Amino acid sequence: MTIAPGKKKQKIDRLAELAARDDERGVSLWQEAFRRLRRNPAAIIGTAILAVFVIVAVVGPFLVPYSPSDTIGIREGLIRPGVIPGADGDHWLGYDHQGRDEFSRLIVGARQTLLVGVVSTLIGLAVGALIGGVAGAAAGLGGRWGRRLDSILMRFIDMMLAMPSLLLAVSIAALLGASLTTVMIAVGVVSVPVFARLLRGSMISQANSDYVLAATSLGVRKPKIALTHVVPNSLAPVIVQATLTLATAIIEAAALSFLGLGNPDSSVPEWGVMLAEAQQYLDIRPGLAVYPALAIIVTALGFTLLGEAMREALDPKLRK
């Protein structure tokens, strides 16, 4: 008795769906993880910080009281050698060294920081997932030739891991020239090996699962098994890592901007550039360095808290 192709596909999809469930009540991995996140104080705090950060980055530039490039202090004669006025009723954080409103620049800079962090993480995730997905599928389902391809790809990833991440990012940024795009590419390339190795290891682990053996015995082609079943069931740790990488990306982007490899146009505020410009005026206005530094630290803390909470929620060893 033969099984119709349509029914075979339905049975395989149903088998993969059941394999993703882990308890008797039929609660999926993501449903249970979400329940645990709602009860985790670290996840709540991290989510609150990120919600404020995203709202400020998206809506803030439309609500700032002054243009971030308007040299108000110089025009009004308030900026003099050795004198940078502090906060007052109209300028909550005072002026910077060029007489621009510091509060407006800090708010507008949140958008640039979010843009750099998200784009660089997406670059690393896309390239790393491609390399790791091919390597994982080749190692887990590709036989002898697949293992050779996996070995070649992983040696390339090992070469990238052998170089310190910040040194690699600085080298790429110096090679491409100072710009915001350069920072995104440099930080994205640094995160490629992490995503590649993580997805590869997860896929190799999933390749030994019962649902893969069942699908193989039913005659389903291995590329289809890899794309429709193994990859979706291997993405949980990659998504968690993406959240943690966002925190690292923001810090590394700020470091590159601090070293002068970011956007050379100082009229476009970015927290790393603001921190670098403030170093010359620490004895006059230390707050010019404190404000962007605190913004970077708090934002990175929010991503880290949420990422660690997601890691705990998705860890099978910690689940009941």
Q: Give the DSSP letter string of 256-287.
A: HHHTT-S-S-TTS--HHHHHHHGGGGTTT-TH
Query: What rounded mean pLDDT belongs to the chain?
Result: 84
What's the chain's length in residues?
320
Which residue ranges in the chain fall short of pLDDT 70? 1-30, 315-320
pTM: 0.82
Rounded to 5°, angle at Cα 301 from 297 and 302: 125
Nearest by Cα to 132 from 202, 43, 40, 186: 202
Cα atoms in the Cβ-side hemisphere of radius 13 Å centred on 306: 22
The pLDDT of residue 22 is: 45
Q: From CA 111, how far away is CA 104, in angstroms rounded?
A: 12
Q: From CA 152, how far away is CA 200, in angstroms rounded?
A: 13
User: Cβ distance 158 to 150 under 8 Å?
Assistant: no
Residue 21's DSSP bridge partners are 28
Max Cα-Cα span within the chain: 92
The pLDDT of residue 282 is: 87
Q: From CA 89, how far away is CA 70, in angstroms rounded?
A: 18
The pLDDT of residue 103 is: 93
Rounded to 5°, angle at Cα 261 from 304 and 124: 45
Neighbours of 30 (CB within 10 A): 13
Q: From CA 173, how far away is CA 184, in angstroms rounded?
A: 9
The pLDDT of residue 291 is: 94
The pLDDT of residue 145 is: 85
Q: From CA 245, how far away is CA 261, in angstroms rounded?
A: 20
The pLDDT of residue 23 is: 42
The pLDDT of residue 17 is: 53
